[in-house]
Amino acid sequence: MEHIVIIGNGISGVTLARHIRKLSDNKITIISAESDYFFSRTALMYVYMGHMKFEHTQPYENWFWKKNRIDLVNGFVEKVATDSKKLTLKDGSTITYDKLVIATGSKPNKFGWPGQDLKGVQGLYSKQDLELLEKNAPNNEVCNRAVIVGGGLIGIEMAEMLRSRKIPVTFLVREKSFWNGVLPEGESAMINEHILEHHIDLRLDTNLKEILSDETGRARAIVTDKGDTIECNVVGLTAGVTPNIDFLKESGIALGRGVKVNRFLETSAEDVYAIGDCAEQHEGIGSRRPIEAVWYTGRMMGEALAQTLCDNPRKYNPGHWFNSAKFLDIEYQTYGWVFSERSKEDHEYHFHWRHAKEKICITIAYHIDTMKFLGINTFGIRMRHEIFDQWLTANKDIDHVMTYLKDANFDPEFYKLYEAEIVNKYNADFKKNIRLEKKSWKRIFSKA
């Protein structure tokens, strides 16, 4: 029986622990300084917004850990000695391991802005960040205006959170259109509109120059590179995240931006592994980035590493890319790869459909030479993961996707369906004559 120590109790570490317990009798210890029990980081926003209480973000009841013999240690690892296989915690105690897994996730980026460490300036990543925001911006009397810097997923979530308490929000986005490094033009433009619809002061193509302090050392305003000074009490720094690995600097483990790992998620040190946001592949897998700071990939790495640690060596081998998000009221799902104009290759072409009135649209990427289906972005329409996974595996072409689009719909019953409209536009755009097939349970459940 080995002692497997996991640093970090996020989705990666906890998925790993659960799967190790399913597969073996090893002793498992999870160390975290953030919270006693696993919670869903993606749900923190809902606690601030009053949709849930913090306890609701915990997917397992507190008895779960003891019952499954997963030891939880609340502590901060300061030192990792890989030769003696020993961890030293902040309180001076030590823990020895047979196998060590680093799953410490990320921390918000700070790019050296003047004033970035003032009071009232914060990121939104951890439980502590949430508690801080509750203190910094409990209502619109204490916080008359917040400025959010960085137009990514956390930025728009933070804007939504603050707006739920009627706090005026200015949203600085470096790009010329929201998240257009990832989203194609049409979609990015639609989200711009939706942000304005929520009375968020969206400033595109605008960077933060400095944060000004009042006499007490609290942020009182920010200055943009356009020369505007915006009075505010809270500044949200949401310009992406970086692996949270400062504590490993002296450890001798090979580090890049994250902890360098191979496909087996092994680091340069023996019996030390890294998973989740903090792991950095030597080379990105397929079109993936070397560091994937996404919920789903963290979970997959946990699933894969559990096999390896239980004498069943498995590579981290993610399948077709998928992801999801919600931009205020608009749900977003993606299956396969749809790249933005900024990053797509020459062979990738897009078919785009947008509803005349509603904030609903889809973009389908295809290969211009082969018409092979590459991926889909969908906004305001839910789609079936399994169907797109099958189509991607089977290398279906875009005509096939159009013909059987009804099979892929995952909207609740009675929803208005737009497949006919979409296929009409496709036929018009491509001068084709695709006939939409009826939804078929048989096809939906047949494994391609």
Partner 1 sequence: MKVLQHIGIIIFLVGLSTFAALPLLGTFKVDKNIVQEIVSDNSIKSELFIQDLETKIQGKKFNGVQSLSPIIVSALDNANATHRKNKEYKKIIYTKGRDMAGSIAKKSGVGFIAENKGLMWFLTFGLGIIGALLFIVPQVVLLGPKGIKNDGIYHQSSTNRGWIAWLVFIFLVSFYLILYFRPEYATNWTYLVDPISESLSGNLAGHWFVYGFMYCVVMSVMAVRMYIKYRHNIYQVVRTTSVLFFQIVFAFLIPEIMVRLQMPYYDFKNAFPLDYDFFFQWNLKTLLNSGGIGIFILFWGVVLTLVIVPVMVYFFGKRWYCSWVCGCGGLAETLGDPYRQHSDKSLFAWKVERWLIHGVLLFAVLMTGMTLYSFFSETGTVLGIKTQSVQNVYSLAIGSIFAGVIGTGFYPIFGNRVWCRFGCPLAAYLGFVQRFKSRFRITTNGGQCISCGNCSTYCEQGIDVRAYAQKGENIVRSSCVGCGVCSAVCPRGVLKLENGPEEGRINPTEVLLGNDIDLMDLVNKK
21, 326, 355, 443: which one binds partner 1 (CB under 8 A): 326
194, 203, 220, 354: which one binds partner 1 (CB under 8 A): 194
Does 285 contact partner 1 by CB under 8 A? no
- DSSP SS3 for 126: coil
Helix axis angle for 185-197 and 153-164, nearest 10°, is 20
24, 26, 29, 42: which one binds partner 1 (CB under 8 A): 42
Question: C-beta of 174: minimal distance to partner 1 in Å?
Answer: 25
**Cα(365)–Cα(407) distance, integer angstroms:** 19
Does 264 contact partner 1 by CB under 8 A? no
Does 197 contact partner 1 by CB under 8 A? yes
Does 262 contact partner 1 by CB under 8 A? no
CA 321 from chain center: how many Å? 13
Amino acid making up residue 97: Y
Residue 251 CA: distances (Å) to CA of 90, 92, 196, 405: 15, 17, 47, 52
Of 92 and 286, CB closest to partner 1 = 286
Does 307 contact partner 1 by CB under 8 A? yes
Does 354 contact partner 1 by CB under 8 A? no
- DSSP SS3 for 171: strand
**Cα(226)–Cα(207) distance, integer angstroms:** 8
- DSSP SS3 for 302: helix
Beta bridge partners of 3: 27
How does DSSP classify residue 77?
Answer: E
Helix axis angle for 295-309 and 11-23, nearest 10°, is 30
36, 329, 345, 429: which one binds partner 1 (CB under 8 A): 329
**Cα(309)–Cα(443) distance, integer angstroms:** 37
Cβ-contact 121, 211 below 8 angstroms:
yes
Residue 369 CA: distances (Å) to CA of 319, 397, 434: 24, 11, 19
Does 304 contact partner 1 by CB under 8 A? yes
Does 140 contact partner 1 by CB under 8 A? no
**Scanning residues 6 to 35, which ones bind partner 1 (CB under 8 A)?**
11, 22
Residue 178 CA: distances (Å) to CA of 138, 207, 327, 435, 443: 27, 13, 11, 35, 37
Of 26 and 164, CB closest to partner 1 = 164
Of 50 and 227, CB closest to partner 1 = 50
Does 415 contact partner 1 by CB under 8 A? yes
Single out the segment in contact with partner 1 by CB under 8 A; choices: 24-32, 44-52, 68-76, 182-190.
44-52
21, 33, 43, 367: which one binds partner 1 (CB under 8 A): 43
215, 357, 369, 414: which one binds partner 1 (CB under 8 A): 414
Q: Between 358 and 377, how does the x/- string for binding to partner 1 read (CB under 8 A)?
A: --------------------
Q: Which residues bind partner 1 (CB under 8 A)?
A: 11, 22, 40, 42-43, 46-47, 49-53, 56-59, 61, 164, 194, 197-198, 295-296, 299-300, 303-304, 307, 314-315, 317-320, 322, 324-326, 328-329, 331, 333, 382-386, 389, 410-416, 441, 444-445
